[in-house]
Structure 1
Amino acid sequence: MRPLSVLAYLLAVAPLIATPGTSLALLTHRVSTDGRRAAAPVILGTATGLYVHAALAGLGLSALVMRSSEAFTAIRLAGALYLLALGIRTWRTRALPRPATPRTDRSTYRQALLGNVLNPKAASIFLTLAPQFLSPTAPVLPQFLTLATAQALLLTVWLLLWTPLLTRTTPTLRPYLTRLTAATLITTAVHTAAG
């Protein structure tokens, strides 16, 4: 795969990465309550989700799901329900600082992973946008994984830029950030359910 193709892909996905969504909402909630260390599981979970979508697209499985309206609707509604439950749970939590624990890291990783994997819009990036940057003469799966790696790196930089800002939030702002995170997750869930 040519470096120029990867660069062009990054320019195409950059606005999508910069748009507030599940990853930034989770990062906001976790870092503002658990500290800077909580950024790592959010970033790793989201990046893993990108690789899942890339692998499924490379193997052709995502295309099958997108062509089946029933399967696509089931995944879309599962994603919407997951985000809604996560949003409600976040709304109900108190934004008090607490030390991050391995269990918190695992659950944060899982939340970020599922938030990405159950997002049909994330899958559609690898089915509609990414193929435009593939070389027709090279194997498809490695190219999808290359684009996922580039996207994961760009996403990592974006979320790491937010991390120091979020760690500086005062205790008075934390409840508002928690509510904003919950509202973002719930809004994303409604938007996902509406298709």
Structure 2
Amino acid sequence: RHSEGAFAVELNVSSPNRKGFGESTKDYLKDVIQAVKSATALPVIVKLGPWDNVVELAGKALEYGADALTLINTLKGKLYEIEGFTPLLSYGTGGISGRCILPLAVRIISEVYAEYEAQIIGVGGVLEWYDALVLLASGARLVGLASAIMERGFRAIREIEEGLREYFANKGLKPEDVVGIGVKR
């Protein structure tokens, strides 16, 4: 059961740091979603990665009962140190995040929104308020931050929120006015 104060459960079925996660997620997606849905009345959000079949997986997640999607998780990457050419990361691979994945997040969110008009939490590459705005225009209804916070601390949340508030006030818009607007054009 859930803890008091929880608003939703996010299922990260897309970690690039673990074997078995990735495009093979389709093999167990239904079982995982239905098991969690049977254990809680909270909304279930499924976090997917930037795979070739992500639009198909998004549709399956929604079909199996996901209430919303988080798009996108990090990309799987690897680096070696140059003395002994051993992996820099203890697990060998890790998630690539930051500004470089924003265009990929925009594309995937746009494609999933165009296909399903799903409830989407957009993540991936948000460092400034206008990055969050682009994810909203792609179809996200909420935006998550990580890289901005790691780079600038928690003040990044306030800065991004203030930038968005100023933009919406200057344009006479509400956030919901721009959700999916880039896809609809």
TM-score where L is the length of structure 1: 0.29
Instruction: Give the TM-score normalised by structure 2.
Output: 0.30
- Compare relative contact order (CA 8 Å, sep 6+) and give the higher one, 1 or 2: 1
